């Protein structure tokens, strides 16, 4: 193995050095003075650096090219190997000791001697056992072989062992002296206590260090906050300074404005006195000139008439307001007939505005709509005109009846009156204006009553063109309510349903009307206490609406509300309601099973049909036009036909 030290000749040492330190010294000088024992002595008694320096100096002396780092690494590794070997020998010293005193004959060259005679047998080699005994073994072919290296190492180990033994004896003597001189137990206890104190002090130190770090971090954060606060404070100081300057400027301006206001008040007082004197001297002449009232006074009367002030009181109201506000005393006010004539003038002005808007409008499609109703035995018809996204009221007139001729003459008269009025005002020929009106009228919008269909046909013949007849999508709800009440009346007659409320619309409708009177009619109901009870029950006071007959889906909606609040209504009627004429009747009807069944059916129709219908068409949140609603109406009609006539429908009783 390269690098293994084998004592012998100088040549052997050169080979050892060459293999160990990776250098070639085969050509070095023969006169090498460094002996084997010397390098061993250097390796045991010097540091790696000193040995490396000595070897490197020798290599430099004999002319061997190498580096100092290479020499240091090789010397360090070789020293480590020798120390390891020394430790192994020291641990097995009790096995080697018996052989240290024996003498061995080793030739100078370290070579084995040749066997002179075949009969000679090699001496027996003694083998060490692990327990320290010596076992003599004899094997064929084994001979006693010793070399100079083993002898040298043996001598070195003997000397080293003797020195270690002397050191051990000296150390034991020193230990005995120290034990006599010092009490080791007490010293150990003190050392233990000191170790405990040191550990606690270290823990306290670590705690204080972490606390110090935390406080340092808090101090840093506080410093940052203080810097920010200082910057914010300086900013607010600047703002306060600027606002203080602005406040001073505003004070100066306010003072100047106060002076100007005082001057203005003085000027107003002077002008008021002058105006009072002027009006007091010319009060009658400024209001009525040449038998006509001036425009400002007429505008005041128009405003009163628009606010539903009676014609008898309009003039008195204007005179009172003028006297209170301007201290103007009006000597003569218009008579009621004059005020009525001014109301007629408002109608003329409205006709002129509508005719001008219709005549000057671009080529748009106008829709003519009308609807009639009976109030206190009188028949009234309202006519509207829609174009350009706006709706105008043409006239609300009282008719003699509700026939086709009455409606037709009323509508045609309104259109001709518009043409005549605008022709007189603008100077345009009447037939041109009426022609423009006929060209714009393309559609009609009414309910599905037969009389209105006849009126649409008459208008088509008059205008000599086919009008697009549209029907109101909300009026079918009135028809549904009427048919529902007819069916319920037949149900009452068939099953002899008893009721304590009065009316001609059926037992369920009579109950709905009675509950509405209880909430809204003061003469027969109890509105004030009923509203208080609803508020205490966390309900809106308008949850029960006023019932005045067929109004869209009011019948179905009210039935659903009464069914939902039945127990609440019974509790109110039994405990809190005042003594009304029909309180006991309502209590009895609200407990009638047949009437409750009718209310449930009406409420179901309101939830499934009329309520969604009102949401889609009446609210019209999508802003759909009339023609855009037709597909939705068709879908609803198909669903109704399925529910009414299909055998698979759960609502079909047949």
pLDDT digits (tens, 9 = 90+) for 222-260: 999 999 999 999 999 999 999 999 998 998 889 888 888
Q: What are phi and psi of 292, to 5 degrees?
A: -125, 140
Q: What are phi and psi of 125, to 5 degrees?
A: -95, 130
Residues near 159 by Cβ (< 8 Å), separated by ≥ 6? none
- The answer to whether residues 608 and 634 belong to one domain is no
- The answer to whether residues 311 and 435 belong to one domain is no
Domain boundary among 334, 354, 370: 334
- The answer to whether residues 486 and 617 belong to one domain is yes
| Residue 496 φ/ψ region, left for φ over 0, alpha for ψ in the -120 to 50 degree band, beta for the rest | left
Q: What is the CATH number of the domain that holds 405?
A: 3.30.420
- The answer to whether residues 604 and 507 belong to one domain is yes
Q: Does residue 92 contact residue 132 with C-beta atoms inside 8 Å?
A: no
Residue 12 lies in a domain: no
Q: What SS3 state is found at 63?
A: coil
Domain boundary among 472, 498, 525: 472
- The answer to whether residues 352 and 467 belong to one domain is yes
Residue 231 lies in a domain: no
- The answer to whether residues 557 and 485 belong to one domain is yes
d(CA 630, CA 278): 66
| Pairing mode of beta strands 390-399, 134-137 | unpaired
Residue 301 lies in a domain: yes
Q: Please give the distance of CA 379 from its chain centroid, rounded to a whole number.
A: 58
Residue recorded with tokens 């002179």: 116
Nearest to 369, CA basis, from 441, 438, 446: 446
Q: CB count, 10 Å around CB of 69? A: 9
Residue 59 lies in a domain: no
Q: Does residue 346 contact residue 305 with C-beta atoms inside 8 Å?
A: yes
- The answer to whether residues 616 and 651 belong to one domain is no
Q: Does residue 85 contact residue 78 with C-beta atoms inside 8 Å?
A: no
Residues near 222 by Cβ (< 8 Å), separated by ≥ 6? none
Percent composition of the chain: helix, strand, coil (DSSP 3-state, to 5): 65, 10, 25
Residue 129 lies in a domain: no
* 3-state secondary structure labels for all residues of 115-152: CCCCCCCCCCEEEECCCCCEEEECCCCCCCCCCHHHHH
Residues near 604 by Cβ (< 8 Å), separated by ≥ 6? 560
Q: Is the dihedral of CA 377, 525, 565, 621 positive or negative?
A: positive
Residue 11 lies in a domain: no
User: What residues does 289 pair with on adjacent strands?
Assistant: 292
- The answer to whether residues 463 and 483 belong to one domain is no
Residue 589 lies in a domain: yes
Domain boundary among 429, 453, 472: 472
Work out the burial of residue 407: count CB atoms within 10 Å of its CB; fewer than 13 is exposed, 13-18 middle, 19 or more buried: buried
CA separation, residue 582 to residues 256, 511, 515 (Å): 73, 10, 10
Number of domains in the chain: 4
Q: What is the dihedral of CA 108, 110, 114, 119, to 10 degrees?
A: 100
Length of the chain in residues, anyone?
A: 654
Residue 247 lies in a domain: no
The parent domain of residue 428 ranges over 343-472
Supply 538's token pair. Answer: 């966390």
| ∠ CA 520-492-650, rounded to 5° | 100
Residues near 257 by Cβ (< 8 Å), separated by ≥ 6? none
Q: What 8-state DSSP symbol labels residue 614?
A: I
d(CA 615, CA 218): 64
Q: What are phi and psi of 625, to 5 degrees?
A: -85, 175
Residues (pLDDT < 50) of the chain are 1-11, 13, 21-40, 100-146, 282-286, 654
| Pairing mode of beta strands 366-375, 468-471 | unpaired
- The answer to whether residues 367 and 418 belong to one domain is yes
Q: Is the pTM of this model over 0.85?
A: no
* pLDDT number for residue 454: 92
- The answer to whether residues 351 and 456 belong to one domain is yes
d(CA 594, CA 511): 12
- The answer to whether residues 586 and 534 belong to one domain is yes
* pLDDT number for residue 524: 79
């Amino acid at each position: 193995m390269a690098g293994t030290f084998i004592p012998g000749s100088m040549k052997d040492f050169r080979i050892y050095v060459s293999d160990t330190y990776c250098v070639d010294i085969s050509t070095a000088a023969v006169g090498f003075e460094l002996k084997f024992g010397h390098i061993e002595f250097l390796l045991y008694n010097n540091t790696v650096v000193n040995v490396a320096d000595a070897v490197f100096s020798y290599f430099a002396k004999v002319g061997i090219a190498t580096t100092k780092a290479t020499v240091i690494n090789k010397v360090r590794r070789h020293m480590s190997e020798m120390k390891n070997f020394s430790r192994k020998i020291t641990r097995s010293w009790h096995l080697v000791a018996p052989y240290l005193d024996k003498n061995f004959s080793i030739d100078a060259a370290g070579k084995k001697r040749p066997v002179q005679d075949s009969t000679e047998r090699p001496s027996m080699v003694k083998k060490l056992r692990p327990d320290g005994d010596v076992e003599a073994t004899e094997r064929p072919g084994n001979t006693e072989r010793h070399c100079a290296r083993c002898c040298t190492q043996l001598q070195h180990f003997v000397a080293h062992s003797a020195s270690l033994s002397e050191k051990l004896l000296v150390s034991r003597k020193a230990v005995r002296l120290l034990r006599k001189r010092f009490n080791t137990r007490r010293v150990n206890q003190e050392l233990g206590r000191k170790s405990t104190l040191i550990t606690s002090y270290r823990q306290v130190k670590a705690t204080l260090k972490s606390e110090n770090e935390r406080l340092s971090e808090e101090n840093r954060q506080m410093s940052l906050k203080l810097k920010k606060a200082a910057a914010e404070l300086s900013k607010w100081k600047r703002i306060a300074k600027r606002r203080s300057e602005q406040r001073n400027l505003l004070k100066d301006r306010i003072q100047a404005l106060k002076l100007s206001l005082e001057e203005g008040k003085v000027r107003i007082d002077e002008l008021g006195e002058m105006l009072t004197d002027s009006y007091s001297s010319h009060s009658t002449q400024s209001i009525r000139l040449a038998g006509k009232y001036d425009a400002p006074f007429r505008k005041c009367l128009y405003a009163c008439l628009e606010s539903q002030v009676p014609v008898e009181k309009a003039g008195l109201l204007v005179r009172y307001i003028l006297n209170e506000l301007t201290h103007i005393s009006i000597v003569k006010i218009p008579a009621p007939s004059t005020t009525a004539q001014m109301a007629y003038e408002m109608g003329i002005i409205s006709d002129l505005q509508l005719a001008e808007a219709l005549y000057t409008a671009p080529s748009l499609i106008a829709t003519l709509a009308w609807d009639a109703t009976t109030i206190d035995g009188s028949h009234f018809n309202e006519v509207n005109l829609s174009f350009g996204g706006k709706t105008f009221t043409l006239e609300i007139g009282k008719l003699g009846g509700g026939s086709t001729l009455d409606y037709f003459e009323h509508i045609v008269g309104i259109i001709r009156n518009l043409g005549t009025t605008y022709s007189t005002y603008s100077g345009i020929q009447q037939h041109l204006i009426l022609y423009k009106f006929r060209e714009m009228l393309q559609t009609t919008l009414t309910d599905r009553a037969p009389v209105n269909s006849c009126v649409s046909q008459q208008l088509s013949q008059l205008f000599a063109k086919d009008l697009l007849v549209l029907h109101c999508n909300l009026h079918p709800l009135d028809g549904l309510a009427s048919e529902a009440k007819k069916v319920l009346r037949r149900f009452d007659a068939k099953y002899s349903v008893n009721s304590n409320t009065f009316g001609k619309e059926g037992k369920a409708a009579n109950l709905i009307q009675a509950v509405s009177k209880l909430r809204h009619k003061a003469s027969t109901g109890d509105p004030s206490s009923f509203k208080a009870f609803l508020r205490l029950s966390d309900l809106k006071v308008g949850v029960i609406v006023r019932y005045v007959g067929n109004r869209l889906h009011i019948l179905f909606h009210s039935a659903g509300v009464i069914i939902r609040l039945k127990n609440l209504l019974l509790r109110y009627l039994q405990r809190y309601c005042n003594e009304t004429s029909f309180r006991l009747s309502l209590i009895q009807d609200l407990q009638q099973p047949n009437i409750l069944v009718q209310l449930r059916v009406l409420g179901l129709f309101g939830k499934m049909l009329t309520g969604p219908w009102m949401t889609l068409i009446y609210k019209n949140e999508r802003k759909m036009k009339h023609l855009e609603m037709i597909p939705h109406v068709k879908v609803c009609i198909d669903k109704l036909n399925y529910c009414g006539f299909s055998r698979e429908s759960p609502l079909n009783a047949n």
